[in-house]
Amino acid sequence: MVKVGIVGASGYVGGELLRILLGHPEAEIVSVTSRQHVGEYVFKVHPNLKGMTSLQFTAEDPLTVASKVDVIFLAVPHGVSCKITPKLAETGVKIVDMSADFRLKDAAEYQKWYGWSHPAPDLLEKFVYGLPELHREELKNTSLVAVPGCMATAAIVSLAPLAKAGLLDGPIFVDAKIGSSGAGGKPSLSTHFSERFGVVRVYKPVGHRHTGEIEQELKYVSGKKFKVGMTAHAVNMVRGILTTSHAIVSSKPEASKIWKAYRSMYTSEPFVRFIMDKKGLYKYPDPKITIGSNFADVGFEVDPYVERVVVFGAIDNLIKGAAGNAVQSMNIMLKFDEREGLNFPALHPV
Amino acid sequence: MVKVGIVGASGYVGGELLRILLGHPEAEIVSVTSRQHVGEYVFKVHPNLKGMTSLQFTAEDPLTVASKVDVIFLAVPHGVSCKITPKLAETGVKIVDMSADFRLKDAAEYQKWYGWSHPAPDLLEKFVYGLPELHREELKNTSLVAVPGCMATAAIVSLAPLAKAGLLDGPIFVDAKIGSSGAGGKPSLSTHFSERFGVVRVYKPVGHRHTGEIEQELKYVSGKKFKVGMTAHAVNMVRGILTTSHAIVSSKPEASKIWKAYRSMYTSEPFVRFIMDKKGLYKYPDPKITIGSNFADVGFEVDPYVERVVVFGAIDNLIKGAAGNAVQSMNIMLKFDEREGLNFPALHPV
Amino acid sequence: MVKVGIVGASGYVGGELLRILLGHPEAEIVSVTSRQHVGEYVFKVHPNLKGMTSLQFTAEDPLTVASKVDVIFLAVPHGVSCKITPKLAETGVKIVDMSADFRLKDAAEYQKWYGWSHPAPDLLEKFVYGLPELHREELKNTSLVAVPGCMATAAIVSLAPLAKAGLLDGPIFVDAKIGSSGAGGKPSLSTHFSERFGVVRVYKPVGHRHTGEIEQELKYVSGKKFKVGMTAHAVNMVRGILTTSHAIVSSKPEASKIWKAYRSMYTSEPFVRFIMDKKGLYKYPDPKITIGSNFADVGFEVDPYVERVVVFGAIDNLIKGAAGNAVQSMNIMLKFDEREGLNFPALHPV
Amino acid sequence: MVKVGIVGASGYVGGELLRILLGHPEAEIVSVTSRQHVGEYVFKVHPNLKGMTSLQFTAEDPLTVASKVDVIFLAVPHGVSCKITPKLAETGVKIVDMSADFRLKDAAEYQKWYGWSHPAPDLLEKFVYGLPELHREELKNTSLVAVPGCMATAAIVSLAPLAKAGLLDGPIFVDAKIGSSGAGGKPSLSTHFSERFGVVRVYKPVGHRHTGEIEQELKYVSGKKFKVGMTAHAVNMVRGILTTSHAIVSSKPEASKIWKAYRSMYTSEPFVRFIMDKKGLYKYPDPKITIGSNFADVGFEVDPYVERVVVFGAIDNLIKGAAGNAVQSMNIMLKFDEREGLNFPALHPV
């Protein structure tokens, strides 16, 4: 059994990590911290875990946690992780960082997308971008993982094979739709039910921070710099992301080539599904069909009229978009079966 | 009082026409037909109208209706209107057609977008495209109105000023999100609640029929042929449309120029609102804020990074996207105050 | 034109009052106050009113407002109204109080249900309980109206005819289901979308404050003291209330007698509908069919097996449950047509 | 490994059985039948199972299935099971029947609640009512299990301890709220999204068929005949049931006695949780907190004013209300760990 700790376990991502790790046959959770809930039972904050665990939140600082565990998950806000990670990394503990602080390789990109000067740029290249579909081999040989952003995950997994196969010319317009859980557990007017119910609310029309990750990873697989324009919408659901990418192509690829690109990259992937039915309800990826699972569903359509391919990526933002992807990365890093603890299907209907 | 009749009044658009016309001080509804519900009270099918009307559905054929009324609304399926309209038009009755059959001016476009040879191409040029914001003067002098498609309305109203002002280069990618009422009242697996709840379902990734209308109208205002690529999604709500248009620009316009374009075209429009707050919840158009009203909300953002302008259009699909726009067109055609019967705000919150 | 003012107009009830009064042909809104939003345009807070009004919030104190208007609406929290009303009442202005402060006739009942000693008990008997269906004649001769609680309205309107006709023995168990707008516009964890979406949350299992009003009014119509046990649930919608009342009967009445009781009390009521279909979707009252209207829908079923009648009442909580009822009461008080400003149907589907 | 078959596996209950049994370490699914989908992959009908199984539907008749398996699950409509079960039972195969056909012990009760003469009354006493919390010992020694109705499960589990402890006098009014998945997967006007969204729809005000089960089981634990009046509402969610039982008491029990009754009956139950927080959001059972799990959450409040106890039961209708309970019963029957295959928490938030 590997010992794990979770720093900042009271948020939705922390709760989902707990849910998954409690069912992981090789993991033992030995410390979960939350400043706000010190001494409280975990199930008081995450009511779905009642009857599943008697863990309590502690106020242990990250270094203390690190001294007790093999793997530490950081579910802390952006800007916090980069302050505590340098010392943590020195201890040799394996770190899985859920924040954005080590996703980008180039410190200048933090300035560009976050308006922010990175305090520990030397660590950036030591972190592996925790997307197994692109970085499995690196994950096997690292102890530092930066878990991708949720919308970035949906976009990258769905677009990478086309980029890698040279089928896209760019730019790429990523039109993203996301549920409320992506905004976290803190109440505000924007998440007030009467105001949030039924919206199709544009909350980040341009300049979304995940753009940097998407560009970085598409370049990683293709060697080519794609410009990405992202627009993010909040829609009327709690979990789920769909990215609809309108990807410019100068000469339209045949559908068979795109399928070949997907297959050549993902055939053995345990958590990527090709959605390709020509009839019925499930013709294209839909987050509804991923809720509760670690699957990323991908699909596409070539536009016969305009010079674009439309590419779809659907995930459960808290699982493949966060905690599930984190555990999948941990499994690889620890040489476990990659599916360990994650081998559950989505709920349907839900 | 003008006498009006509605052919095919049992669907959602028919019900909304009834709701609006019952409150119209200058209109008297004298005939509502439905083959399926002959003899039934209207409020049995449209339960919201209980206590508002004792009208009953009749089986009158359209010519009989025409003989009794000044204005006939055709709320019949696409492909039906074009069969009954030629004889109706001969009677001189004013026709407001809610179907797609007379929206496109060029018969070849029906072949292209509907896969269908138009049976009455000579009538196409006689119909006015019933979007007051673009065709008010023509509406004053016609007796034949083709009410625009719902998604086309949101896209055209939001994009036209930019196209007209020469601020767009194209192509334009219209990412549309729509509620369930746009699919009508007939049950199917795709509208079964357990399957439809919580979806972000791509139902028309390419080749949407409204594309033809959008291209036609943008050309009408700008003299320029824009290629449009549309992708339509069903989302978790009953009413409402948001179109997010990723419009390619080779040199990015200043925001002030775009505002100027909107103002110069729409300042006096009674049913177009500019949504332009820089803080708060209501920064961009959101269908939630239009539900129950005839408003079309428009807004935009210039992307500082990629060569695009993102343009937003939000409407209630059954009102500004159908019945409200139809009544607005009728008001203009009959020289009524354009707001008559439509001067109600949206519900909020709802 | 009658001049009206609204004190505390930034909440959902205030917004709904504004929406209705803006469409009222006999009312002119001359003052709307909000301490929090002084100087702001009303449509910044109530975005649905954009394009409908250029009113701004003021910081005027209630007495200043009273000096300018014929009718003052108090949309302030419980416990505030009773402090400002005594001086207001002295000015002779007509007062329509949306709070709970003057609904109960017996000051002891405030102690019982609110845990609270009423500061102005002498005024209690001067206020008329603003439910036109029970107190129309008194409303014609008062200048002080206490608008009923939202859940009380649904319960009373649906139960009163049976109580009056001597068909009930009691006790009565009122199982209430309400949308989020009943909780107002202030964010909290309980209204945080991710936590509130999809709930059937018991928020007041026993001792609900509206119990006192229901008992008072059932006694008013019947002369009999009924004990009421209420249980309130928050459900997954923004607007609407359904009260399901399990009313104990020692000998079961025939359905025809109950219909007769409804008819004899409500036949001429403009805003009460009997829902009595034996087939189709609309067999019993459902708040969905009232959304956006001032209707109260009532219906029932006699249990052939257990000694109860099940009685249903459905309303839009912000309209018939608050602002609409307030305007209806004002209309009566001012001898206007009772339907003035309220003659709009519900939206369907929505 | 035990071999299992599912007859009628294309519905929502069948899909949930598949989902659970695919993750059951001791079960091997060897046959799944569906007349409608013969030859199709299971994941075409249950899209959440894509990537989890390559099973295909067969047209095998139940006897053929029985010849291959140790346990056969019947997920067929009411009235079908009782026709095929007599011959199946002769084969000695273990039968877990999801239908209502063998839940009631007394054939006369079928006449009463189903209006139906039972064709195989001799089998009724041989079946065990598959509610482990009440019938665990019998389940260990049977090969015939009748899985309880979904609403009955929520009501019985929450009420049984009080009835058993002699704390209730009756009658009991069960006000039930259920999600759409309880109505199955077949489209109709009543499940059409635009009509079903946002409802609080009374669909069975009196005479609900589950009443018989509830009365039977409360008598089983208490020796006393309680009369139950049930009223069922469809609410705006896909999964979940809350039963709010207004239970009449002549002398009100202390809360501590009720807790003691729950504890004495359920302390060792793996899938019953007491919800008893005095603060926070999770004070009473809410189906939202059970979605995706096999838990039944129970709680209550004593009314200080009226002679009632309000008792709450919340479950996921497809799991504890159907497939999960079936697997739990199978586990007991086969002497497996009762939690096998069911040891997953609910999803939160969802």
- Contact call for residues B176 and B114 (beta carbons, < 8 A): no
CB contact under 8 A, C194 and A180: yes
Six-digit token pair at C3? 């001049």
CB-based contact B46 C348, cutoff 8 Å: yes
Task: Show the domains of chain A with their CATH numbers.
Answer: 2-126 (3.40.50.720), 151-315 (3.30.360.10)
| Stretch A165-188: mean pLDDT | 98
Distances (CA, A) of A186 to A321, B272, D288: 19, 35, 19
Please tell me the predicted confidence (pLDDT) of residue B73.
98
Q: Which tens digit of pLDDT belongs to each residue from B71-110? A: 999 999 999 999 999 999 999 999 999 999 999 999 999 9
Identify the pLDDT of residue A91. 97
Q: Which of A238, A275, A289 sits opposite D349 (nearest CB)?
A: A238
Q: From the centroid of its chain, how far is CA C48?
A: 22
Contacts of D187 in chain B (CB under 8 A): 187-189, 191-192
For residue C263, the tally of other CB atoms under 10 A from its CB is: 12
CB contacts of C207 in chain D (<8 Å) are: 303-305
Give dist(CA D329, CA C229) in Å, integer.
Answer: 37
Tokens of B91: 């009677």
Residues of A in contact with B302 (CB under 8 A): 206
From chain C, the residues in CB contact with A199 under 8 A are: none
- pLDDT number for residue D94: 98
Residue (of D138, D155, C45, B287) closest to A197 by Cα position:
B287
Tell me which residue in A23, A273, A350 faces D50 most closely, judged by beta carbons: A273
- 3-class SS shares of chain D: helix, strand, coil, % to 5: 35, 20, 40
Please, which pLDDT band fits residue A301 given cuts at 50, 70 and 90?
very high
CA torsion, ordered B66, B67, B69, B75, to nearest 10 deg: -20
Q: How many CB pairs under 8 A join B and D?
A: 54
pLDDT given at position D28: 98
For C116, which DSSP code?
Answer: -
Q: What is the pLDDT of residue C251?
A: 92
Name the band, by pLDDT with cuts 50, 70 and 90, for residue C243: very high
| pLDDT the model gives residue B293 | 98
Structure token pair of residue C65: 């407002």
Mutation choice for D interface testing from C200, C201, C235 by most D CBs within 10 A? C200
Q: In the predicted model, what is the mean pLDDT of residues C334-340?
A: 98
State the greatest distance between any 2 C-alpha atoms of chain A, in Å, as a whole number. Answer: 61
Q: Is D146 helix (H, G, I), strand (E, B) or coil?
A: strand
- Residues of chain B with Cβ-Cβ distance to D194 below 8 Å are 12, 180-181, 183, 185, 191, 238
Average pLDDT over residues C189-193: 98
Strands A308-315 and A296-302: antiparallel
CB A212 within 8 A of CB A152: no
pLDDT single digits (tens) C108-165: 999 999 999 999 999 999 999 999 999 999 999 999 999 999 999 999 999 999 999 9
- State residue C337's pLDDT score: 98
pLDDT of residue C232: 98
Asked if the Cβ–Cβ distance from A197 to C238 is below 8 Å, we say yes
- Do residues C106 and C86 lie in contact, with contact meaning Cβ atoms separated by under 8 Å? no
pLDDT in tens, C5-45: 999 999 999 999 999 999 999 999 999 999 999 999 999 99
For tokens 């041989």, name the residue: D126
Kindly state whether D304 is in contact with chain C, defined as any CB-CB distance less than 8 angstroms.
yes
Residue D282, pLDDT score: 96
Provide the 3-class DSSP secondary structure of residue A98: coil
3 state SS of B110: helix
Q: Is A304 in CB contact (< 8 Å) with chain B? A: yes
**What is the gyration radius of the CA atoms in chain C, in angstroms?**
20
Q: Would you call C197 an interface residue with chain A, using a CB distance cutoff of 8 Å? A: yes
Continuous H helices in chain D: 12-22, 42-45, 62-68, 81-90, 107-114, 121-124, 132-140, 150-164, 193-196, 210-222, 255-266, 324-333
Asked if B74 and B7 count as a contact pair (C-beta separation under 8 A), the reply is yes
Chain-chain contact of C15 with B181 (C-beta, under 8 angstroms): no
Give the helix ranges, DSSP H, for D48-149.
62-68, 81-90, 107-114, 121-124, 132-140
pLDDT for res D227: 98
Task: Kindly report whether the global pTM for this prediction surpasses the value 0.90.
Answer: yes
D231 C-beta neighbours (distance < 10 Å), count: 27
| CA–CA gap between residue D326 and residue D72 (Å, rounded) | 11
Cα B276 to Cα B297, B299, B301, B312: the distances in Å are 10, 6, 10, 11
Cβ–Cβ of B349/C50 closer than 8 Å? no
For residue D298, give every residue at least 6 positions away whose Cβ sits within 8 Å of its Cβ, in sequence order, or none: D157, D158, D262, D266, D272, D273, D274, D275, D285, D311, D312, D313, D314
Q: For A48, which residue in chain D has the nearest alpha carbon?
A: D346
Q: Please measure the distance between the N-terminal and C-terminal CA atoms of chain D and give it in whole angstroms.
A: 34
Question: What pLDDT, in 10s, does the model give residues D112-159?
Answer: 999 999 999 999 999 999 999 999 999 999 999 999 999 999 999 999
Cβ-in-10-Å burial (0-12, 13-18, 19+) of C256 comes to: exposed
Dist. CA D115–CA D99, nearest whole Å: 16
**Under an 8 A CB cutoff, do A181 and D295 touch?**
no
- Tens-place pLDDT, residues D277-317: 999 999 999 999 999 999 999 999 999 999 999 999 999 99
CA nearest to A184, candidates A98, A245, A242, A111: A98
Residues of chain D with Cβ-Cβ distance to B195 below 8 Å are: 185
- Express each pLDDT in B108-167 by its tens digit: 999 999 999 999 999 999 999 999 999 999 999 999 999 999 999 999 999 999 999 999
Q: From the candidates C10, C194, C196, C197, which should be mutated to test the interface with A, based on the most A CB atoms within 10 A?
A: C194
Q: Of the ranges A188-192, B184-188, B276-280, C63-67, which one carries the lowest mean pLDDT score?
A: B276-280
Residue B95: which of B122, B116, B65 has the closest Cα? B65
DSSP states along C201-227: EEEESS--THHHHHHHHHHHHHS----
Strand partners of residue A175: A231, A244
Kindly list the strands in the beta sheet with D94-97, ordered across the sheet, starting from the edge strand earlier in the chain: D27-33, D2-7, D71-74, D94-97, D144-146, D128-129
The pLDDT of residue C195 is 98
Q: What is the pLDDT of residues D202-258, one digit of tens each?
A: 999 999 999 999 999 999 999 999 999 999 999 999 999 999 999 999 999 999 999
Restricting to A residues 213-252, those with a Cβ less than 8 Å away from any Cβ of B are 227-229, 231, 233, 235-237, 240, 242, 244, 246
Question: Measuring CA to CA, which residue among B50, B29, B10, B47 is closest to residue B341?
Answer: B29
With CA atoms as reference, the chain A residue closest to B178 would be A200
Quick count: other Cβ atoms within 10 Å of Cβ D304? 8
* CA distances to D19, D75, D291, D322 from D12, in Å: 10, 9, 15, 10
Give φ, ψ of B29 to 5 degrees.
-85, 120
pLDDT in tens, A28-86: 999 999 999 999 999 999 999 999 999 999 999 999 999 999 999 999 999 999 999 99
Q: Which residue from C177, C229, C302 is facing D200, i.e. has the nearest CB?
A: C177
pLDDT in tens, D67-118: 999 999 999 999 999 999 999 999 999 999 999 999 999 999 999 999 999 9
**Chains touching C, CB cut-off 8 Å, 3+ pairs:** A, B, D
| Maximum alpha-carbon separation in chain C | 61
Structural contact between residues C160 and C133, judged by C-beta atoms closer than 8 angstroms: yes
Helix, strand, coil content of chain A in percent (nearest 5):
35, 20, 40
CB of D194 within 8 Å of a chain B CB? The answer is yes
C-alpha distance from C206 to closest chain D C-alpha (Å): 5
Q: D14: which chain B residues are within 8 Å (Cβ-Cβ)?
A: none
CA–CA dist C203, D310 (Å, integer):
13
Chain A residues whose CB is inside 8 A of the D41 CB are none
**Other CB atoms within 10 Å distance of the CB of residue C36:** 11
> What gap in Å lies between CA C325 and CA C132, rounded to an integer?
8
pLDDT at B3 (0 to 100): 98
pLDDT digits (tens, 9 = 90+) for B35-78: 999 999 999 999 999 999 999 999 999 999 999 999 999 999 99
User: Residue C186's closest CA among B279, A193, A236?
Assistant: A193
Please tell me the distance from the alpha carbon of residue B304 to that of residue B318, in angstroms, as a whole number.
Answer: 35
**In the prediction, which pLDDT does D146 show?**
98
Specify burial of residue B219 (Cβ count, 10 A radius: 0-12, 13-18, 19+): middle
- Dist CA A302 CA A304 (whole Å): 6
B50, B52, B345: residue with CB nearest C49 = B345
Of B195, B229, B235, the CB nearest to A308: B229
Residue C141 has what DSSP assignment?
T
Contact C238 B349 (CB under 8 A): yes
Tell me how far the alpha carbon of residue A180 is from its chain's centroid: 15
pLDDT in tens, B170-200: 999 999 999 999 999 999 999 999 999 999 9
Neighbouring chains to A with at least 3 Cβ pairs closer than 8 Å: B, C, D
Both structure tokens of A139:
């994950």
Look at the alpha carbons of C156, C162, C164, C167 in this order and tell me if their dihedral is positive or negative: negative
* Residue found under tokens 């998954």: A20
In sequence order, what are the beta bridge partners of B228? B172
**At A195, is the pLDDT very low, low, confident or very high (cuts 50, 70, 90)?**
very high
| Whole-angstrom distance, CA of residue B181 vs CA of residue B291 | 12
Task: Quote the tokens at residue C273.
Answer: 């509908």
Contact in structure between A318 and A12 (CB atoms under 8 Å): yes
Which residues of chain B make contact with D180, given a CB cutoff of 8 A? 193-194, 197
Distance CA D133, CA D153 (A): 10
The residues with which C41 forms a beta bridge, in sequence order, are C56
Nearest CA in chain A to D346: A48
pLDDT of B91 reads 97
pLDDT computed for residue B72 by the predictor:
98
With an 8 Å Cβ cutoff, are A211 and B349 in contact? no
Residue D13: which of D220, D278, D316 has the closest Cα?
D316
Considering only alpha carbons, which residue of chain A is nearest residue C238?
A194
Chain B: nearest CA to C155, how far in angstroms? 20
pLDDT of residue D15: 98
Task: Tell me the shortest Cα–Cα distance from A345 to chain D, in angstroms.
Answer: 6
Query: Distance between CA C253 and CA C250 in Å, rounded?
Result: 9
